[in-house]
Structure 1
């Protein structure tokens, strides 16, 4: 088939690379976001998808919007059988969805209809889901609402971070895409409508919500730490008011009557803070301007940040 590919980051580039490697279809054009300033010099930098497309001598389009009739006319000129969309970052108007012969299909990093939206990997870990996966759907005007052509699931490991799960889905997605494209007409005819009673939304992450809330159980906060790794990284305010990023933690059974946020101990085994249920032992943290370090190393010369018996401030997320 003639394929127009639309994507921007590394996750999308992995899918495009799989299409090139398979040599089963012809990628006639690639759509990606305009070059953005990056690095210390703030020089314009091409997306991972653009760099890959240029390396394969494929036409690259970088419209600011797909609403422009001229942009839509240019897309139609590629006479695509299907448009494959992976983490593109631009909204596709209904007119665009109708241009390719078989429409537009999207690779989404969740088992739809659970976790529609921008941050499905992080939300799945934070919520304590046992499985994650990728869904390939036919795109509609709504946010991730289209019928599902194919899903592939995998278990979420006990120590899974968003970074590690991202890597697993980055391998699972391209294989699923090739399988779906190989039998696209049949997959479209047997696509399953999403159950609207099971919908959850994976809203965009923010640095503010990454602040640990000691009113939560330790088991939730431990998932919090893993879900926000590598961005925006869970954080807390120490007794001195300094913001510290938390990279690794574990649940510690505790039946004490201390108030949530109270420092129970701070030694070479870690920093133990009382939560709404049990306690959280912080194993690795990062001061501003420094690299992540074990809690024992942090406490050398910094004991004032976690005095035993002091109650730490914590966010009260609604």
Structure 2
């Protein structure tokens, strides 16, 4: 089996579904704390699947993590567990320090203790895959080359600083203890089951509800957009072929300014579910005050993973965003379950 942490979140949940879609795949122990963005409804299709074992718990719980490792003897750990929303980290950084730094530390130590007890051949097969973000590299100007794996770390938010710290811990455990790790730093993910505080699902759902589409500042912040299914396929490749101690950047090769992303979503909705008044959803676009320390541009150079492991994204932005919009139109029950009163309170606080 493999142990997946944060497997009820957006990327982790998609990975679990993608992994278990292969009938020959190993089983998964899925450890998730089920904070606000963790959603078991994402995993509804696995309710009767004996190859998926869900455990409600915290990666910071040493007793629980050690128990799971010793009981299930996983041959790999994939660590998705993280607090991940920049805006939330600005309002309340403590949870990000607790989960992303101290939680990762605890997971590493429990895993290292477990790994140290394995026989030599099993030790050689074991992997600890740490999933991280391109935000650890800081911000780029319009003319800067894209981030490579050798870029210095220059995090600019409490979120990215906490992820940078976790990356450093993982690197140190490899160099100090010989613990078998790989790290991936991905660009902005989008796709099905995305909690609607992030830009793309927020715009889709606000548009359909007739609400304003809030755009920070001038909307010219540029991100490299990666379809979550492509991210899952890249992680599988790194888990099988990745060199121990290495970092691999995973990008979608789709740099887009936020305002263009929003207008593209509006155009697709105009086609698939037109407004009753026949006007464009783009009329709902509203510019709001920019958030503090907002990074201007991220861009991933994914040439290393293509060169060394043969991976490239399968989706263009046009194909991926159309699939994403269609998924939200086709899954109103999941959406309704997520859009709770506490979530609306958060939106009002953030975008008032």
Q: TM-score range by the shorter chain?
A: 0.3 to 0.5
Give the TM-score taking structure 2 as reference length. 0.39
Give the TM-score taking structure 1 as reference length. 0.43
The structure whose residues are more often strand, as a share, is: 1
Name which one, 1 or 2, has greater alpha-carbon Rg. 1
